[in-house]
Structure 1
Amino acid sequence: MTPRGTEFRETMLGRVRLGDEERERPVRLDLVVRADVVLLPHRTTPARVTGRVRIAGRADDAEAVGELEISPLARRRIRYRISFVMEGRRLELDGWKSISAGRPLASMTVLPYTLHEDGERVGEGTLRFPLATGLLPFLASFRFPGAAEWHLAPRWDGDPGRTEVWYTTLTDPVTGSGVWLHHELVAPTDGSGAYAHGWAAVFPKDGPAEHARFGPVPWTEHGPGFTTEDVHALPGRLDGSAGPFTWSLTETPHGGPVHTFPRWSWRRPWLPASHMLPAARCEYSGTVRYGDSELRLDGAAGASARIYGHGNARRWAWLHADLGGGDVLEIVAAVSMRRGLDRLPPLVFLRLLRDGRAWPRRAERTAVGWAGLGRFRAHLGLPEWRVTGRAGLRRIKVTVTQPPRRTLTLDYTDPDGSPAVCRNSETADAVVTLERWWGSWREEATWRLSGTAHAEVGDR
């Protein structure tokens, strides 16, 4: 079973006296707290914090990050350490609620704290949880999703001839620009040292795309995600630099994991590769800077995904489409490099999440059908490619268009040293038509995406 985590939101209000001022200023914290285990009061639980810190007239940082130590019984405290920026200075808020059986209400809602800059004390204050207005939203915010760390942790076990990918794609709702962050681990077939590399790319709505690569550097870190000295893809956080690009994003997942390939293939790597999303969709906030340009993101829709396998396919196509209202379409169509499989037409893995349910019910249904009959079909090409298929009483037709001006061409190197090329667009167009059989085929839903589909076609 997938481990469960804990997520909740908390707002605290209070005041602070800064060392360079005599009067106090109002303070507000709006925090999102995530732990990789179910929160239980009898044990000590570490958690990550992202959110917004506001000090009236002095600071308003929507990219604050930090950590909580939640230990109400074992250590009788809940400790907060939150880093934020005030007027270009990096400060740390450090404080804890001291839990007391004699004063349970006050001790759970009052947070005395100090502010530090480079280890020096620069302010102090007190925050309070507003019971009258904050209790119901606080309780309603609790979620227990599958722990992101479980899906983001490296799968590579040291065997040669493997590749592993963490990638994120999103669309800025204000400018219409697309963003692509690609993080990759390659373990060469010849047994030489594994290395990490990747790139960042921005796709302005009217193109052309700009990108920069990072690495290769030796793969030495092990933890809950992808980590090098300058680039991190971790639960709830993405940051790094590559050439003129720098980025710092928080990631808020929505929905459970989506296994584009059969669920068992992620645990047991018997297939040439496996693909999955730790969460059906995510929202991203933060900044992406490149050259003289900057994207300031707030609630940008997108998703992160994971790939683990032996290398790239002979030919492939990919689509991630946020259809709105929580509905998502994910497609991978590929021709394998394995002998025998390389003679088959593209195998299609399609997952449509609609109204909280996945269609078709089993991931392998679209690829193999029933004894080979009823497989979904893909017609790969550029600037347009298509997928069609039927399962049960429904059938689907997907047409994806990647305009050349909005498509970026990049090369890959497989673990065996062979090259591959992908042509990616994070501002692609797509038309998705879903029909249902009622004595005749009737249209059930149609989605038209203009510049908000994320798509790719690759070959050798």
Structure 2
Amino acid sequence: MRGTVFTETMLGTVRLDTETTERRVRLDLRAEADEVLRPHRTTRARLTGRVRIAGFADDPGAEGELEVSPIARRRIRYQLAFTGDGRRLVLDGWKSVTARRPLASMTVLPFTLYEGDARVGEGVLRFPAATRLVPFLLSFRFPRREDRAQHFPPRWDGTPGRTEVWYTTLTDPTTGTGIWLHHELTVPADGSDPFAHGWVAAFPRDGEVRHARFGSAPWTRPADGFAGDKVTATPGQLAGGAGEFRWELTERPQGPPLFTFPRWSWRRPLLPAAQMLPAARATYDGEFSYGEHSLTLSGAPGASARIYGHGNAHRWTWLHADLGGGDVLEIVAAVSTRPGLRRLPPLVFLRLRRGGRTWPRRAERSAVGWLGVGRFRAGFGLPQWTVTGRTALRRIHVEVDQPAERTLTLEYRDPDGARAVCRNSESADARIVLERWWGRWRPEASWVLDGTAHAEAGDR
């Protein structure tokens, strides 16, 4: 089964009921449908994107629904919720498709603004076909439908010497506090009984990083995720307590899964380990408390990921960066523990999802290049580490800073009994520069994350 993904830009004006002049409007939207779009049928898609109204609104987290029914119902309807002037508004409009004026009816969107049930304005948006038609057509993708719930059940098949991880990282938009929930199944290599354990940590903007561990608890073989020591992680829900920490969170995915390693390595575990994100972008609502602090989360951005393998690498770094506007960057750079492979430079798996497209196109590209030539490079170290790389037409430079006062050091044991140490910061800084070749290297995009990057460096 395949779905449909495309992006669209519309420009126009709106007149608020309390004003006599018009304001300019721009919508940059991404539509995701769970089926292939067929014009003769009615297709519903999720809308996300950015709404800009001059001097009134600039909301990159707009969400809504699109109904595409140009033949069956002769309309294409948009309903989009966003925040403007501190108020929650809904844009409701539709293109009335007619055979008499096919171009105009497909490109003109009259709309009304509502606050609750009250009308607050009206306007007209137009699709600028002269400049946006080609990008619009090239944006269409028909990806395989991935049910994120299928990636949550335990992978362990009874083989000794395995590690399986469910982890979630997020940032409270109100206080800037970073949150880390790590759930792990460890299966000792010596044949001992498997056990569930993990930890929770908070990284406040100002103040001490605090954490607590839970487990070890017997592994009860849950069917839909992680469960141990009264802590659970299942599709859409995270709950539990450890030490001074208590949490009950609802997760709402904002996009399809992302495979950091090659997709085949998750389905067929031939590599020492593999990582993927069932929810590469998600929002979190609920309660999270520790000590004297109590956070009520609403729309907190974050992600959930999975790891399965033989244990930790010899050395590794990791970055998750929500870049805004639906864009996300995930990096894993690692040196294998296996003899011989340990002497090789780090393998870098870098996945940049931008505008609905993922670069590099194949996960293997950043790790091995072309027959070993052109692979991406990682510079390990703390408090700073880097990743650089290029393909034929693009290159990227990533600098990550994990300040000591915002980094938590944790020690634990791999299935083979070896000691592993991770140094994690859910409030790290990152600078990312993406360039494109146009006769010479020119800037294409750049991002600066101040305390909202999620990063880790570790070794055995």
Fold equivalence (TM over 0.5): yes
- Specify the alignment match of 2:160 in structure 1: 160
- Specify the alignment match of 1:340 in structure 2: 340
Instruction: Name the CA shift for 1:340/1:431 in 2 (closer, same or farther; >3 Å).
Output: same
Instruction: Name the CA shift for 1:420/1:229 in 2 (closer, same or farther; >3 Å).
Output: closer
2:174 counterpart of 1:174: yes
What is the CA–CA distance in structure 2 between the aligned matches of 1:257 and 1:155, rounded to whole Å?
17
- Specify the alignment match of 1:404 in structure 2: 404
In the alignment, is the contact (CA less than 8 A) between 2:185 and 2:219 conserved in 1?
yes
Post-superposition shift, 1:145? 6.0
3-state SS of 1:279 partner: strand
- Specify the alignment match of 1:251 in structure 2: 251
2:195 counterpart of 1:195: yes
In the alignment, is the contact (CA less than 8 A) between 1:206 and 1:406 conserved in 2?
no
Post-superposition shift, 1:148? 2.2
- Specify the alignment match of 1:452 in structure 2: 452
Alignment of 1:386-425 (within 5 A): 386-425=386-425
Deviations 1:5-25 (A, max 9, x none): xxxxxxxxxxxxxxxxxxxxx
Across the aligned residues of Structure 1 and Structure 2, the Cα RMSD in angstroms comes to: 2.1
Percent identity over the alignment is 68
* Amino acid across the alignment from 1:309: G
- Specify the alignment match of 1:6 in structure 2: none
In the alignment, is the contact (CA less than 8 A) between 2:209 and 2:408 conserved in 1?
yes
Post-superposition shift, 1:229? 4.5
- Specify the alignment match of 2:108 in structure 1: none
Alignment of 1:302-321 (within 5 A): 302-321=302-321
What is the CA–CA distance in structure 2 between the aligned matches of 1:256 and 1:343, rounded to whole Å?
36
In the alignment, is the contact (CA less than 8 A) between 1:431 and 1:447 conserved in 2?
yes
Post-superposition shift, 1:146? 2.6
What is the CA–CA distance in structure 1 between the aligned matches of 2:205 and 2:229, rounded to whole Å?
31
Post-superposition shift, 1:206? 2.3
Post-superposition shift, 1:207? 3.7
3-state SS of 1:149 partner: helix
Deviations 1:43-87 (A, max 9, x none): xxxxxxxxxxxxxxxxxxxxxxxxxxxxxxxxxxxxxxxxxxxxx
In the alignment, is the contact (CA less than 8 A) between 2:275 and 2:305 conserved in 1?
yes
In the alignment, is the contact (CA less than 8 A) between 1:161 and 1:415 conserved in 2?
yes
Deviations 1:135-182 (A, max 9, x none): xxxxxxxxx963222011111001000000000000000000000000
**Structure 1 alignment gaps of length 5 or more:** 4-36, 39-129, 134-143
Post-superposition shift, 1:2? 9.4
What is the CA–CA distance in structure 1 between the aligned matches of 2:148 and 2:388, rounded to whole Å?
32
Post-superposition shift, 1:291? 1.1
Alignment of 1:134-153 (within 5 A): 146-153=146-153
Deviations 1:278-316 (A, max 9, x none): 022000010111112111100000000000000000000
What is the CA–CA distance in structure 2 between the aligned matches of 1:157 and 1:296, rounded to whole Å?
38
What is the CA–CA distance in structure 2 between the aligned matches of 1:407 and 1:335, rounded to whole Å?
22
Deviations 1:402-432 (A, max 9, x none): 0000000001210011001000000000000
Post-superposition shift, 1:341? 1.1
Post-superposition shift, 1:223? 1.1
- Specify the alignment match of 2:378 in structure 1: 378
Post-superposition shift, 1:392? 2.3
- Specify the alignment match of 1:276 in structure 2: 276
* Amino acid across the alignment from 1:286: G
Post-superposition shift, 1:339? 1.4
In the alignment, is the contact (CA less than 8 A) between 2:280 and 2:305 conserved in 1?
no
In the alignment, is the contact (CA less than 8 A) between 1:145 and 1:255 conserved in 2?
no
- Which stretches of structure 1, 4 residues or longer, exceed 6 Å deviation after superposition? none
3-state SS of 1:183 partner: strand
Instruction: Name the CA shift for 1:186/1:173 in 2 (closer, same or farther; >3 Å).
Output: same
3-state SS of 1:367 partner: helix
